[in-house]
């Protein structure tokens, strides 16, 4: 634990990031809070004429630790606080797309990506697209309980257009691009003209939206390295007890410093074996 903290401090010094982590958060430790964002557009009136809406099951969400939609849930404030910090930095830098990355698996990237996306969408001024680009171990749909819908897999296989594979999971202002099964040749897929076109399309078509990419870990494949080039900024997640100091340092080495939005120490307590890539 101390080693992780030391490595994070060192990494932060290297990047010139002056923010500090708070210590009292029960599940995640995030960067120091800052003020709320000013309102941009009023995006309340979004309609989902084309986007398919799926009602989520609260029990399933709870089991998968997706809590940010439920304001009566005690830990929701952690994500709201993280949201404020993330949005503020994104606004300051005019960043629209965010990659959630970690050195190794089971750091809580997907858990954070979903809860953060929900928390951002709960602000009336913000809309979000959450994209599951962990093509090796897609989990966004599973954690949310999205099944039986068209997915990124159909898009890749030329069976569906982008608008047919986006899903609104019953949460206003949130849209998900689910990936339902692993994709063969994931790194090549992420480098392909088809995926580049999709990234471009999303950026242009949904210009006012925050785009969050859930990705595989940095050190297990080159997928994350490919995507780092295509996003505006990166949230670096370190799973407590899931990663060695040397792995944090190695992963940090790959991250373009001007894109590092911040770091989160996530207190996930699961065994690495469960999450073998």
Ligand X SMILES: Nc1ncnc2c1ncn2[C@@H]1O[C@H](COP(=O)(O)OP(=O)(O)O)[C@@H](O)[C@H]1O
Please give the residue ranges that form the binding site for Mg ion (CB under 5 A). Answer: 109-110, 134, 139
Q: Does 220 bind ligand X (CB under 6 A)?
A: no
Minimum distance of Mg ion from residue 59's CB (angstroms): 21
When CB distances are held under 5 to 8 angstroms depending on the partner's kind, the choice from ligand X, Mg ion, none that residue 270 binds is ligand X
Q: Tell me how many residues contact ligand X (CB under 6 A).
A: 19
Q: Does 213 bind ligand X (CB under 6 A)?
A: no
Q: How many residues does the chain have?
A: 277
Count of alpha carbons within 13 Å of 107, Cβ hemisphere only?
Answer: 29
Among 196, 270, 271, 276, binds ligand X (CB under 6 A): 270
Q: Which is nearer to ligand X, 51 or 64 (CB)?
A: 64
What value does the CA radius of gyration of the chain take, rounded to a whole number of Å?
Answer: 17
Minimum distance of ligand X from residue 122's CB (angstroms): 19
For helices 109-121 and 76-93, give the axis angle rounded to 10 degrees. 80
Q: Give me 231's structure tokens.
A: 């996003």
When CB distances are held under 5 to 8 angstroms depending on the partner's kind, the choice from ligand X, Mg ion, none that residue 105 binds is ligand X
Which of 267, 264, 275, 269 is CA-nearest to residue 113?
264
- Which residue is associated with the tokens 């007890």? 241
Does residue 46 contact residue 222 with C-beta atoms inside 8 Å?
Answer: no
Antiparallel, parallel or unpaired: β 97-101 and 233-239: parallel
Round to whole Å and give the CA distance between 225 and 178.
21
Q: Does 268 bind ligand X (CB under 6 A)?
A: yes
Q: Which is nearer to Mg ion, 21 or 139 (CB)?
A: 139
Minimum distance of ligand X from residue 112's CB (angstroms): 7
Secondary structure (DSSP) of 182-251? --SSHHHHHHSHHHHHHHHHHHHHTTTSEEEEE---TTT-SHHHHHHTTSSEEEEEEETTSS-HHHHHHH
Site for ligand X in 221-260 (CB under 6 A): none
Q: Which is nearer to ligand X, 17 or 266 (CB)?
A: 266
When CB distances are held under 5 to 8 angstroms depending on the partner's kind, the choice from ligand X, Mg ion, none that residue 29 binds is none
Q: Does 96 bind ligand X (CB under 6 A)?
A: no
> The dihedral of CA 109, 205, 257, 76: what is its sign?
negative
Among 31, 61, 106, 183, binds ligand X (CB under 6 A): 106
When CB distances are held under 5 to 8 angstroms depending on the partner's kind, the choice from Mg ion, ligand X, none that residue 104 binds is none
In the complex, which residues of this chain contact ligand X (CB under 6 A)? 27-28, 64-65, 102, 105-111, 139, 266-270, 275
């Amino acid at each position: 634990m101390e080693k992780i903290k030391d490595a994070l401090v060192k990494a932060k010094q290297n990047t010139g990031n002056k923010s500090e982590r708070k210590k009292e958060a029960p599940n995640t430790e995030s960067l120091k809070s800052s003020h709320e964002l000013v309102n941009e557009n009023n995006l309340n009136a979004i309609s989902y004429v084309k986007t398919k809406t799926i009602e989520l099951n609260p029990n399933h969400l709870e089991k998968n630790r997706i809590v940010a939609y439920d304001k009566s849930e005690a830990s929701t404030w952690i994500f709201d606080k993280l949201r404020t910090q993330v949005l503020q930095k994104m606004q300051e830098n005019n960043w629209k797309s965010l990659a959630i990355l970690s050195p190794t698996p089971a750091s809580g990237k997907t858990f954070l990506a979903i809860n953060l996306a929900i928390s951002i969408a709960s602000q009336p001024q913000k809309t979000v697209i959450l994209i599951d680009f962990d093509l090796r171990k897609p989990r966004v749909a599973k954690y949310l309980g999205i099944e039986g819908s068209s997915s990124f897999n159909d898009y890749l296989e030329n069976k569906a257009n982008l608008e047919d594979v986006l899903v609104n999971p019953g949460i206003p202002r949130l849209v998900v691009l689910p990936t339902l099964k692993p994709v063969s040749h994931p790194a090549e897929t992420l480098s392909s003209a088809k995926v580049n076109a999709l990234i471009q399309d999303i950026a242009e078509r949904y210009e006012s939206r925050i785009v969050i990419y859930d990705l595989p870990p940095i050190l297990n494949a080159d997928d994350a390295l490919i995507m780092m080039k295509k996003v505006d900024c990166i949230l670096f997640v370190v799973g407590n007890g899931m990663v060695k100091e040397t792995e944090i340092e190695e992963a940090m080495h790959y991250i373009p410093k001007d894109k590092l939005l911040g770091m989160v120490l996530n207190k996930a307590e699961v065994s690495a074996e469960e999450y073998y890539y």
